Structure 1
Amino acid sequence: MLMANFLRNRKSSREFRNKDLRENTLKDIKKSMESVLDEASDVNLGFVLYEDGDRIARELDGIGGYAGVMVKSPHYIGIEFKDSEDKTEIYGAYYTEKLLSLINDMGVDGCWLTMTHVDVEKRKEVLGESGGQIGYLLAIGYPPLRNPFELLSEKITGHEGGDTYLSAMGKPEVKKEASRFASTSGSRLGIEKIVFKDSVENPATVEDLDDMGLYDLFYYVRFAPSNRNLQPWRFLVEKNKVKLLMAHSEEAGYSLVDAGVIMYYFESMMKTGHYLGSKSTWELIDGEVEGSETKYRYIAEYNI
């Protein structure tokens, strides 16, 4: 499962080589931007490529970026949400993550940078007249060079708190049944924390998910990136549907961007795994449900 392996190793790069992308690569990125926007024709979304990354990084230093720190890269892509509708933010993120996946296939890394906290006039000054509608940037560039022997060592000895060579090769290592629901990474929630059956008070079991052919999908989809790695997404399995919810509380909110990102990866994996060729797509839904400890907002549902 290529998408599973990609997700398994998916990380937001915050360091890039101080080297411009090749001219042909930039052309391919522009073509990918156009093709994704064509596919997203019913979404009020726009992309703008900024090739002068040094200037952008310099002018936004100490203002924009990841957790308040501007990530320096040779190029940036502005993500324009042209209205304030929830659909635009959700599907804007969905298609932006699709674009980022295409860019990754070119050997180029990237990460999301939040700009919503930057003054609108400042955004226009730095990013042009459309900058006021650019709430996020993608920093893109070549990944830093690394010692190949260090990479091999990581795969053999494990990284992120417990992944071993088997899981590095895309196969979950299962020593005993109980371990199947344990997170393979100290930074990742276990499946029992994010998947429910019929009720948000009823965690799905291994048998439930195996019987439906969904265990592998949920094992991998939890590696999807999220803002500050909060992993707010939850899945409610009901008969022939999977519903996406976002967990929230008075102390911790959620981002619709995270919803769009997880929707993209879930849907992509559904088309390549047990449900190969699935033509189903997400449909947005409304509603709230309150569990004993957490509130959840309904986002979308997917027919399986």
Structure 2
Amino acid sequence: MKFREFTVNSHSTREFVDSGVDEREINEVKTYLDEVNSTVGKEKGFSLMLMENGDTVYQDLEGFGGDGGVMIKGPHYIGLRLDKADHEIEVFGAFYLQSVVKKLYDLGLGSCWISLNEIIPSQEEKLRAGKPGIIQYLLVFGKPSKKEGRTDKHKTIINCDTKYEQNPYGITMITTSDESRLSVVDTIFLQNWGNVAPYEEMEKRGVLDLLYYVRNSPSFQNIQPCRLILKDGYAELAVVNPDREENYTDAGIMLFTLEGLAKELSFPSNWHFIQDDSGNIEYRRVAHFDL
């Protein structure tokens, strides 16, 4: 599976069949979670917790979990447990939970992120099953109740623009629910914050394809809070509205998308977290990414 196909065709699944996931598939998920927890999670301060008893989780969180308390019912859940509220841990945890989304997608399974902002302490404690820390997100997964053809999930609208040849990224990707995304020029800066990166410069650097597809990275309520500042040989990922905690989770998801695309397009894909203590109220740098 090409990563570019995943970025375009992956979508949130909100309805699942009740039968759950086959034993072979659930074992693959368990093995993957164990690998992440042992090789990365322990060092970075997070763990991915498999909850196979979906009915119990749903009943406990109905009216509390999800956006506005709208909980999504599914046969299985994965909890993102953090040792503590910390931006670096949030970024790494989100990066690896999104990697689970890709793993499930490759298995032909559906999934959806669920926010737990409205749950009460006793519910969170039950989810953690005696482990310390906090849980801010779940990933529900299972067999989709309705299978969509991968080519039907998105459609491409090309702007009827005589400048199309000079501006190949005058293309707007929208989902079948007419959800528009910001253009490349709205999300990419050159050298300094706010300095719009010209198409010619992105093309000269050979990063147009990468930057076009990375716009498909999902975000909470599709607000797209992440920006990239192109430097010489690398880029810095930043978030707008740095006081909004969900944006650091979205940054982790964006980094997973960016790394996957970079590897597929033969770019360097090394990155590290940036502890930005500038106090800037407009944006905050989150990561350095080699390009």
Tell me, yes or no, whether TM beats 0.5: yes
For 1:269 and 1:289, the matched residues in 2 are separated by 31
Q: Does 1:297 align with 2:284?
A: yes
Equivalent residue for 1:193, pick from 183, 186, 191:
186
Q: Deviation string for 1:3-53 (max 9, x for gaps)?
A: 111101121222222221011111111001011223314211112211111
Is 1:220–2:221 an aligned residue pair?
no
Encode CA deviations 1:219-273: one digit per residue, 9 max, x unaligned: 11110111111100000001122011101188x7752111111111111211220
1:143 paired with 2:141, answer no
Uncovered stretches (5+) of structure 2, i.e. residues with no partner:
none
Cα RMSD (Å): 2.5
- 2:47 paired residue number: 46
Q: Tell me the residue number matched to 1:167.
A: none
Paired residue for 1:180, among 164, 169, 173? Answer: 169
Give the number of equivalent residue pairs.
282
SS at match of 1:178: coil
Residue identity over aligned pairs, in percent, reads 26
Secondary structure at the aligned position of 1:201 is classed as: coil
Cα drift, residue 179 of structure 1: 5.3
SS state of the match for residue 196, structure 2?
Answer: coil
Cα separation, 1, equivalents of 2:74 and 2:194: 44
Q: Any conservation in 1 of the 2:60–2:123 contact (CA below 8 Å)?
A: no
Stretches of structure 1 that go unaligned for 5 or more consecutive residues are 165-173
**Are residues 1:203 and 2:164 paired?**
no
- Residues of 2 paired with 1:39 and 1:302: CA distance? 21
Deviation at 1:288, TM superposition (A): 4.7
Moved more, 139-148 or 24-33: 139-148
What does 1:1-304 align with in structure 2 at a 5 Å threshold? 2-40=2-40, 41-125=42-126, 128-130=129-131, 133-146=134-147, 154=152, 159=155, 162-163=156-157, 175-178=164-167, 180-185=169-174, 186-248=179-241, 254-275=246-267, 278=268, 280-288=270-278, 295-304=282-291
Deviations 1:262-299 (A, max 9, x none): 11111121122042xx2522342415586xxx811111
Q: Look up the SS of the partner of 1:180 in the other structure.
A: coil
CA shift, 1:136, in A, is 1.1
Distance 1:31 1:126, change over 3 A: closer
- Give the TM-score normalised by the residue count of structure 2: 0.87
Residues 289 and 201 of structure 1: CA distance in aligned 2, closer, same or farther (over 3 Å): farther
* Contact kept in structure 1, 2:237 and 2:287, CA below 8 Å: yes
Secondary structure at the aligned position of 1:282 is classed as: strand
Moved over 4 A (4+): 287-290
Contact 2:226/2:247 (8 A) holds in 1 = no
8 Å Cα contact 1:15/1:73 also seen in 2: yes
Q: Deviations over 1:168-209 (max 9, x none)?
A: xxxxxx953335144323521100000010122221121111
Distance 1:288 1:144, change over 3 A: farther
